[in-house]
Structure 1
Amino acid sequence: MNTDVLVVGAGPTGLALGIDLARRGVDALVVEKADRLFPGSRGKGIQPRTMEVFDDLGVLDAILAVGGTYPVGMVWQDGERVGEHRMFDPAEPTEDSPYNAPWMVPQWRTQEVLFARLVELGGRVAFGREVVGFERADQEADGVTVRFAAGPDVRARYVVAADGGRSVVRRTLGIGMTGETVDPNPLLVADTRITGLDRDNWHIFPPRGEHAGYLSICPLAGTEDFQVVAQFPEGTRVDLSAEAIRAVVAARSHLAPESVTEVRWASDFRPRAALADRFRSGRVFLAGDAAHVHSPAGGQGLNTSVQDAYNLGWKLGAVLRGGAPAALLGTYEEERRPVAGQMLGISTGVHRGEVRRGEATRQLGLGYRESSLTEETRTAPAGLCAGDRAPDGKLAGVRLFDAFRGPHWTLVAVGVEAPELPESVRVVTGDEQPSYGKGLFLVRPDGYVGWAGEDTSRLADYLDRGVTR
């Protein structure tokens, strides 16, 4: 069997990449070793920048329909409510940032939404397909042959490893992970049904005694479930049985064991932060948790992972379907590895109480000013620069996010006459846009300004590089 792109792993990263490739007409196959989508909540926070990505991928309405806002934290002590805890710095939507607060959606439901969109676009997921190796000798030729525990090999022009923190593909490539233990204390996370607690608050139970850990019980928006998180002393072997989870809840709160009426999914982990030494080896790319592992604090892991896919998807499409130079794919690691490292630092800082959940965790300030794909031709730009996220807003009555939506480049011309451009570039013109200022702004398919200036001849030089195909 042959395909253009083989995506290993049907988590949020692999499914988002599958969607982006499908809408670009790229023949891609997503494979997943499990026989179904991941069943647990785990990553439950969708950050504002990822909501913008989901807007472009055509899933935002579905995500909004199955999620909700984060509840206010309620601190309990000895069965009494003793105070509120705001999990996030407040932020109101603005014209240039319409999604300015995180949205809660359990990971399993996010994956259901992404899977449905992928199928709608004609994409494919093959379940029960466990990768066991591949022919590395072919990577510099025309493709990679991937082997499975069962079923036929697959020959792909490119392979993307989105198979999680214990990535088989990454280990087969011999790519190391550099990192640290964020917290030696193991954590239990479980999706449960609980009686006796309201769903208007995220319930927090501080540690009782020197050797006890905290307990948090968060209502999962759009469901009847509560996510239970419990911390244990270093060296503890966490028992994932329903009986043990009921005992932990009873010991650390005012609830009785029978208040936990059902345990639907449970897992344990030790928070760590790690970054792959490389994000690429020949024709194989690493994305998501295969490339970077985060503490869950701050909700950065899933979001950084989806944005990996969003960065790589348009570049693979441009090379495979648009005739762009293969060198374009080299900018994936150049752009995403520094961002992943930055977000790992933020996740770790949030976990340790050093960073607030706020401006940094929304990911709206991330960009690629230092990328080789970025050209800022103005000598003293004020405000928006090449490499920055392209804001939303209105220009001559046109909403910019509506203009950006789709697998194309967009030229935003403010107070400057727009030049003739290839049909593949959409043009929006107007006299004034406060978030942009005067000038020409060539916006990439992933919503970042690739080129900015006023000299149209220099824009032609950028277009001649072939990356806009």
Structure 2
Amino acid sequence: MNQQETIAVLIVGAGPTGLTLAVDLRRRGVACRVIDKAPEFFSGSRGKGLQPRSLEVLDDLGVLDAIRAVGAPYPPLRAYAGERVVWEGRMHEPREPTPDVPYPVPLMVPQWRTEEVLRARLATLGGHVELATELVHFEQDADGVNATLVHVGGAPERVRARYLVGADGGRSHVRKQLGVGFEGETHETDRMLIGDLHVDGLDRDYWHVWSNLETRALKAGLCPLAGTDLFQLMVPLAPDEEPGLALEDFQRLFNERSGRADLRLHGLRWASLYRVNIRMVDRYRVGRVLLAGDAAHVHTPAGGQGLNTGIQDAYNLGWKLGAVCEGAPATLLDTYEQERLPVAAEVLGLSTRLYQKNLLGQRNGAQRGAETEQLGLNYRGGPLARDEREAAGDVQAGDRAPDAPCHTASGEPVRLFDVFRGPHFTLLAFGVATADTVARINARHGSRVRALRVARPGESSGEHVLIDTHGHARTGYALAGDALVLVRPDGYIGLVTPHLSADAVERYLSSVTAP
């Protein structure tokens, strides 16, 4: 057995959740390893929708341009009876960016593309994924986790890590060894055949669907996958059907369900038999071992919530692990479960309701609104949300921090999201009397906190000042008077206080950062 190695974090699973966490940790200078037992990288479309909140996360991680280059908005839907078009509509209505929501439209990006982009970003930070590397056992003590890894064709390896994160999917070995409950249900008879393939004779301008005209239940669907020349084929199965995963099975089932014999399927790239699972854990953390993504919650595909919730698990956990590894109070990790468990329950309920609407063939069941975009998910009332105003506004501590266009004292345009980008906290100090507070926070906390005074046009400016060009910052944060707003590294508001001295900010930071 190889000599034991000591690292800060061992991440098990190299899907979108594990990769997001690895990128976030690496940019903080936290040493981590990412392992995956698969012999090669995932090649399927599976989780193909990125919601607006996830796009904001990916912006902060420095990969949004790369994601946009390989993705596109969802195409309109076109429903058929055989070859006859019977309905057209959209899953997501087009929306223009606003000052506080710069990315309002979900993007379709096949999962393998998302993972490819995140791996490339990880490589620029000095990290990589170790394929064909399986976690077979771990045990923890008060100071860390001892893990045994098995490499294909190699000797077992002992690894010592301060923390271990299981991002290893719905069948998580980490979760099972921990003995964490995974309550919910599996619909054994509710299955769907899914495959990525080429189609001759069909345009790529629409998501093409064939449904039962009376019940509106889906019979077959062909969705053009953005950034590729492939379609994703979806065929619901009857309880007693046991088809294979070969190309001829897809062609036969599609012909039967659609009533079309003129479309040729070929070049099958990936195939999967999907069973509906609706489950979530009762704990996100056991000591120094934490769960994230599908290891903690599995969803129906309706609403595109699963992958996105996993990305945001990792985004919530990354800054906390980084802070604790730097010396912040270990109790900070308790807030990961306290914040994410209620969110997972809420999102799981949403995806289940949407799935049931589709299953029942309800009118407009395919349409998606603001509830699926995850911009409204919040941590209000949680352990890290402190709002010290007598009457909180529409935007409160625990909410997502809105964007807004501003400019510097020299006239250079800058967005709040530009200011937030990076592993630091951001203090937005609204009011002319906050200059001393801004100077004190910047002097004491260095790179951990970036403090800026947000001034109205015409007010005195200087160093560490943003000009609220059109008043969108103050409006976006629903501020009636002057206040200090502390934004966490994951883009949520941690503190809002009308007290303009640095004391309230210092008290907050002492609980979430190293001395």
Does TM-score exceed 0.5, indicating one fold? yes
Q: Is residue 106 of structure 1 aligned with residue 107 of structure 2?
A: no
Find the structure with the greater CA-based Rg. 2
1:407 to 423, 426, 449: 423
Q: In the alignment, does 2:439 pair up with 1:434? A: no
RMSD between aligned alpha carbons? 1.9
Amino acid in structure 1 at the alignment position of 2:209: I
Query: How far, CA to CA, are the matches of 1:85 and 1:133 in structure 2?
Result: 50
**Alpha-carbon deviation of 1:88?**
2.2
Q: For residues 233-275 of structure 1, what are the alpha-carbon distances to aligned partners after superposition, in whole Å with 9 as ceiling and x for unaligned?
A: 1243242111101111111225437700221110011112111
Separation in 1, partners of 2:285, 2:75: 39
Q: Quick one: distance in 1 between partners of 2:172 and 2:509? A: 37
The reply to whether residue 176 of structure 1 matches residue 192 of structure 2 is: no
Q: Identity percentage over the alignment?
A: 51
Letter in 1 for 2:489: P
In structure 2, how many angstroms separate the alpha carbons of the residues matched to 1:81 and 1:468?
62
Match of 1:97 among 85, 98, 101: 101
Q: 1:446 to 1:312 in 2, by over 3 A?
A: same
Q: Which residue of 1 aligns with 2:493?
A: 449
Among residues 186, 192, 195, which one is paired with 2:197 in the alignment?
192
Matched letter for residue 431 of structure 2: G
| Residue 53 (structure 2) aligns with | 49
* 3-state SS of paired residue (2:380): coil
Counterpart for residue 329 of structure 2 = 325
Q: Write the distance in 1 (CA, Å) between the matches of 2:214 and 2:400.
A: 47
Moved more, 151-160 or 11-20: 151-160
Aligned twin of 1:461: 507
Aligned pairs (5 A) from 1:202-241: 202-207=207-212, 214-241=219-246
Secondary structure of the corresponding residue to residue 339 of structure 1: helix
Which secondary structure does the structure 2 equivalent of 1:81 belong to?
strand
* 2:463 aligned residue: none
How far off is 1:140 after superposition?
A: 3.5
Structure 1's 213 and 360: CA in aligned 2 closer, same or farther, altered over 3 A?
A: closer
Q: In the alignment, which residue of structure 1 is the partner of 2:380?
A: 369
**Counterpart-to-counterpart distance in 1, 2:204 and 2:263:** 18
Q: Which residue of 2 aligns with 1:378?
A: 389
Matched residues in 2 for 1:213 and 1:383: separation?
40
Alignment-mate amino acid for residue 176 of structure 2 = R
**C-alpha contact (below 8 Å) 1:403/1:428 kept by paired residues:** no
Distance in 2 (alpha carbons) for counterparts of 1:84 and 1:254: 19
| C-alpha spacing 1:233/1:170, structure 2 compared with 1 (3 Å) | same
Tell me whether 1:286 sits opposite 2:288 in the alignment: no
- Give the aligned residue type for 2:475: P
| Structure 2 residue ranges without an equivalent (≥5) | 409-413, 456-470
Q: 1:55 to 1:182 in 2, by over 3 A?
A: farther
Name the CA distance, whole Å, in 1 between partners of 2:303 and 2:110: 15
How far is the alpha carbon of 1:97 from its aligned partner? 0.3
Q: TM-score, normalised by structure 1?
A: 0.95
Residues 113 and 374 (structure 1), Cα distance of their counterparts in 2 relative to 1, 3 Å cut? same
Q: Structure 2: how far apart are the matches of 1:114 and 1:458?
A: 37
Deviation at 1:164, TM superposition (A): 0.1
Cα deviation for residue 415 of structure 1 reads 2.3
Using the size of structure 2 for normalisation, the TM-score is 0.87
Residue type of the alignment partner of 1:65: A
Separation in 1, partners of 2:214, 2:392? 56
Structure 1 stretches of at least 4 aligned residues deviating more than 6 Å after TM superposition = none
After superposition, give the CA deviation of every residue in 1:389-409 in whole Å (9 maximum; x if it has no partner). Answer: 000002455310000000000
Aligned position for 2:91: 87
CA distance in structure 2 between the aligned counterparts of 1:267 and 1:341, rounded to whole angstroms: 26
1:62 partnered with 2:66: yes
Q: Which amino acid aligns with 1:286?
A: L
Could you tell me which residue of structure 1 aligns to residue 411 of structure 2?
Answer: none
Task: Give the C-alpha shift of residue 208 in structure 1.
Answer: 8.2
| Distance in 2 (alpha carbons) for counterparts of 1:75 and 1:215 | 10
Q: Distance in 2 between matches of 1:232 and 1:270?
A: 10
Change (3 A) 1:167 1:312: same
The answer to which of 65-74 and 235-244 deviates more is 235-244
1:118 equivalenced with 2:122 (yes/no): yes
